[in-house]
Amino acid sequence: MQQRLARGEAAALGELYDRFAPLVRSLAHRVLDDDEAADRVTKDVFSHVWDNPGTYDPKQGSMRSWVANITREMAVDRFRRTEAEAYEASGEGTAEELEQKIRQASAAARADYIVRSMPTPLWAALELAYFRRRNYRQAAADLGVSEDEARRRLRLGLQLLATADLRAADGFPPPGSGRTR
């Protein structure tokens, strides 16, 4: 894919979009919570990838995690700009609160990526327990696994998710690189 993009193959750009647009759009939306801004970030991300396919290094992880990182950075940048403007205009809030908001937005994007990259069995257990309010025994029955296994999946799923809430928000690639579900 990288070579095809570098060669300037428009069909590769289309395939790249088809493969990653749902991820990019969803991460951007999670950070910005705004349709139009998320669309714009989506456009910026694909423009960046199309203009700079050579900056992807397969040794550093999957193309998927690379694209996710670019998205998170661009979305957080935009969020920072928008929030800083709002802060300057209104004079409300403190710089610390601004930083806090940005950290939260960044963690939210990480969490989204982790959820999307999480092994399906873990996500299925979390979904049952959190969104469908099943207790772990019911979840075990639904999934056809032992209660021990259900507890293990819920705990492991949350442990993976907890890695999103990093203090040093920027700089790490999202965990779970390369796996998709």
Residues that bind another protein (CB under 8 A): 7-15, 17-18, 21-22, 25-26, 29-30, 39, 42-43, 46-47, 50-51, 107-108, 111-112, 115, 126, 129-131, 133-137, 139, 148, 150-168, 172-173, 175-176
Residues 98 and 84: their CA atoms lie apart, in Å, by: 7
Closer CB to another protein, residue 29 or residue 78? 29
Is the separation of the CB atoms in 181 and 157 below 8 Å?
no
Minimum CB separation of residue 165 from another protein in Å reads: 6
Minimum CB separation of residue 82 from another protein in Å reads: 19
Minimum CB separation of residue 89 from another protein in Å reads: 29
Minimum CB separation of residue 45 from another protein in Å reads: 9
Closer CB to another protein, residue 48 or residue 80? 48
Closer CB to another protein, residue 98 or residue 177? 177
Closer CB to another protein, residue 3 or residue 82? 3
CB proximity list for 88: less than 8 A, separation 6 or greater: none
What DSSP assignment string belongs to 53-100?
A: GGG--GGGS-HHHHHHHHHHHHHHHHHHHHHHHHHHHH--S-HHHHHH
| Amino acid type, 151 | R
CB proximity list for 135: less than 8 A, separation 6 or greater: 129
Minimum CB separation of residue 85 from another protein in Å reads: 24
Radius of gyration of the chain from its Cα atoms, rounded to whole angstroms: 19
Closer CB to another protein, residue 11 or residue 89? 11
